[in-house]
Amino acid sequence: MIYAYCRVSTQHQKLARQITNITAVYPTATIIKEFYTGTKQDRPNWNKLIGQIKTADTIVFDSVSRMSRNADEGFKDYKMLYEQGVNLVFLNEPLINTSVFDSTKNNLLSIDIATGNAAVDAFFKGNIELINNFMMALAEEQIKAAFDQAEKEVTDLHSRISQGIREAKKNGTQIGLTKGTSLTTKKSLDCIAIIRKHSKDFGGCLEDPDVIKLCGCSRNSYYKYKREIKNNLGP
């Protein structure tokens, strides 16, 4: 079974690019969509996926950052899935695919030294073991480095945003809405029109619960709109 794990941090972001990239290579992949931050591994659909994954199944990611932006947790999950026999594919970082890690293991030196001298044989055997351990450590470091970079990207982004906000405040630039103002959207305008027409408070014939249903908004938004209407009407 091939799964395509596609993740963005919020509902406002789009998954289309990831899905397009993966299905271009794996057209039959089952798409797993996740709207959750990558800095946490406790993600509903990710947990469900790794709970049902089987040996020889494949999980495809557009990039390593889609699997995780937490270096330690991401590397931990990578090793856990690899040890379960799950294939991991990263389109943007193919050098850390589990198939490459497998290839490294399969290419380890395996030389039977028998010189007849026990000391010489032990020397060569020890050095071959050191070389193999070094090769495996190097491969693991490469994988860990990819997760480190994914974590660094989000850390740098947060740092740039914080710095930008500090600079803007220092220069007297308004951050966000000015106190006392509200954000106007088509949805809010439609709700306000419905409230003014149907609410008993403004000459209509419906109680609040019925108007809320007509608006299709939350209770908090509804009462916020009512306050705005009252403020605009004045005393």
Which of 44-48, 178-182, 214-218 tops mean pLDDT?
Answer: 44-48
- Sign, CA dihedral 38-39-41-45, equals negative
- pLDDT mean across residues, the chain: 82
Task: Give 139-170 as a 3 state SS string.
Answer: HHHHHHHHHHHHHHHHHHHHHHHHHHHHHHHH
d(CA 98, CA 89): 7
Q: Angle 124-128-132 (CA atoms, 0-180°, nearest 5)?
A: 170
Are 138 and 96 in contact by the 8 Å Cβ rule? The answer is no
157: left (phi over 0), alpha (psi -120 to 50) or beta: alpha
**Integer CA distances (angstroms), 3 to 23, 55, 62, in order:** 10, 13, 12
Which of these ranges, 63-72, 143-152, 186-195, has the smallest mean pLDDT?
143-152
State the pTM of this model.
0.59
Question: Quick one: 67 exposed, middle or buried, by C-beta within 10 A (0-12, 13-18, 19+)?
Answer: buried
Higher pLDDT, residue 139 or 82: 82
- What gap in Å lies between CA 86 and CA 92, rounded to an integer? 19
| Domain 1-157, CATH number (from 3.40.50.970, 3.40.50.1390, 3.40.250.10, 2.30.130.10) | 3.40.50.1390
- Assign 145 a pLDDT band (cuts: 50, 70, 90): confident
Is the per-residue pLDDT at 166 higher than 80? no
Quote the tokens at residue 43.
């993600």
